[in-house]
């Protein structure tokens, strides 16, 4: 494990450069220190047992990681979620100027022949982490996603930028009851996020989490980019009950047109999960099909809807993917988030009680 840290009030961030995962993130909000990201319980357990063939990204599972491709790696010889989530990154340097600090890395391996660089930036006074990943060169195409993991000890409420609907893949994450359990219906879809079909009948409200006890589930939300949808900014807001805060994940919906939700709530009985990975919500903004690299690069359920699922690479091409993570504490009786909007130099949040709040934010980052 190789750790690199940066700190600029109000944010402190540590990257595990052995696999490119954010190992720790804290955000100071007044007299509170918020910890919006998850770290698997076995990462710091020296006695943890892993089955043969366990990928490094599972062994070091932390915070957020960038994956390329997303999921099954069935074109290039690499672990699931690709080398960006499973291999070391070289530290290129850290630059501090003009009230911001940026730390840069380069992946030691290539992805489909492309060089991949990572830049993490903090801005003074902003409760956000600004992330950029850039592919240079290469050949063919690759899917990509961020894999943000938010712990929710007491559950909470979810809100999203406009979506066309939600759909599950053909098969459940855990179809074998001897190994685990899934409770959503597979395959299924719904344009109503408050009424997604359950396998045993009835419906799950996707604006609440969790949806039951001891379950492992996965679905994909498709961004609504139609004219008039107002979706110039893609966002997910998680209002955590026990932690009394709001966590935000922001993206460009034209670059990352789907948001995959991984609901990991004690539904896997085998090591290293062993029923102890509970109350975790993965927010995986992506240009990808959930069925793997090959499916992402061909005709699939999403491309037939006009939704791209891979980035084209080439010797003279660069592909840049940006994403933002942030958090703030709950104030008073503001309730859940109902809207998020980027202003010139701030992010404005509106709540169910009619109140609103603005936080320092670099609106040019995702607009570029």
Count the neighbouring beta carbons within 10 Å of the beta carbon of residue 269: 17
Predicted local confidence at residue 12, as pLDDT: 98
- Partnered with residue 116 across adjacent β-strands are 135
User: Which residues of the chain fall below pLDDT 70?
Assistant: 227-231
Predicted local confidence at residue 163, as pLDDT: 96
Predicted local confidence at residue 227, as pLDDT: 56
The residue whose two tokens read 């938010």 is: 150
Closest CA to 245 of 327, 311, 188: 327
Predicted local confidence at residue 225, as pLDDT: 75
Predicted local confidence at residue 228, as pLDDT: 55
The residue whose two tokens read 């001897």 is: 178
Predicted local confidence at residue 288, as pLDDT: 98
DSSP letter at 305? G
- Partnered with residue 299 across adjacent β-strands are none
What three-state secondary structure class fits 294? Answer: helix
Cis peptide before 187 (omega within 30 of 0): yes
Rounded-to-10 torsion of CA 177, 182, 183, 188: -120
Go through 214-226 and write b for each residue having 16 or more CB atoms within 10 A of its CB, e for each that does not.
ebbbbbbbbbbbe
Predicted local confidence at residue 270, as pLDDT: 95
Cβ atoms of residues 188 and 204 within 8 Å: no
Cβ atoms of residues 150 and 36 within 8 Å: yes
Domain edges within the chain: 3-367
Predicted local confidence at residue 230, as pLDDT: 53
Whether this model's pTM surpasses 0.95: yes
CA distance 66 to 148: 9
Predicted local confidence at residue 203, as pLDDT: 98
Go through 132-151 and write b for each residue having 16 or more CB atoms within 10 A of its CB, e for each that does not.
bbbbbebebbbbbbbbbbbb
Q: What is the architecture, at CATH level 2, of domain 3-367?
A: Distorted Sandwich (2.70)
Cβ atoms of residues 340 and 237 within 8 Å: yes
Backbone φ, ψ for residue 293 (5° rounding): -65, -50
CA distance 42 to 82: 21
Closest CA to 99 of 4, 5, 29, 11: 11
Cβ atoms of residues 310 and 281 within 8 Å: no
Counting Cβ atoms within 10 Å, is residue 46 exposed (0-12), middle (13-18) or buried (19+)? Answer: exposed
């Amino acid at each position: 494990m190789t750790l690199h840290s940066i700190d600029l009030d109000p944010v402190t961030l540590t990257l595990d450069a052995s696999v490119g995962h954010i190992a720790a993130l804290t955000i100071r909000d007044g007299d509170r220190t918020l910890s919006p990201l998850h770290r698997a319980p076995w990462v710091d357990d020296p006695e943890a047992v892993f089955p043969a063939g366990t990928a490094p990204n599972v062994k070091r599972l932390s915070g957020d990681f960038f994956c390329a491709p997303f999921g099954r790696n069935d074109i290039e010889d690499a672990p699931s979620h690709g080398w960006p989530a499973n291999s070391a990154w070289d530290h290129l340097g850290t630059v501090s100027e003009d009230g911001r600090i940026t730390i840069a890395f380069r992946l030691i391996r290539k992805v489909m022949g492309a060089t991949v660089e990572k830049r993490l930036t903090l801005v003074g006074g902003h409760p956000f982490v600004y992330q950029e990943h850039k592919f240079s060169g290469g050949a063919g195409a690759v899917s990509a996603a961020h894999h943000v993991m938010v712990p929710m000890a007491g559950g909470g409420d979810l809100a999203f930028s406009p979506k066309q609907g939600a759909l599950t893949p053909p098969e459940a994450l855990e179809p074998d009851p001897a190994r685990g359990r899934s409770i959503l219906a597979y395959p299924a879809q719904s344009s109503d996020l408050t009424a997604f079909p359950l396998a045993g009948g009835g419906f799950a409200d996707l604006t609440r989490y969790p949806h039951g006890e001891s379950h492992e589930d996965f679905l994909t939300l498709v961004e609504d980019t139609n004219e008039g949808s107002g979706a110039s900014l893609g966002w997910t807001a998680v209002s955590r009950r026990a932690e009394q805060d709001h966590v935000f994940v922001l993206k460009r919906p034209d670059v990352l047109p789907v948001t995959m939700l991984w609901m990991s709530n004690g539904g896997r009985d085998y090591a290293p999960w062993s029923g102890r990975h509970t109350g975790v919500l993965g927010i995986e903004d992506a240009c990808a099909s959930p069925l793997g690299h090959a499916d992402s690069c061909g005709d699939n359920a999403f491309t037939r809807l006009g939704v791209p699922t891979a980035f084209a690479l080439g010797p003279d091409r660069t592909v840049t993917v940006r994403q933002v993570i942030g958090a703030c504490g709950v104030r008073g009786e503001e309730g859940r988030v109902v809207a998020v909007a980027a202003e010139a130099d701030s992010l404005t949040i509106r709540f169910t009680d009619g109140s609103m709040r603005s936080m320092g934010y670099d609106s040019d980052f995702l607009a570029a």
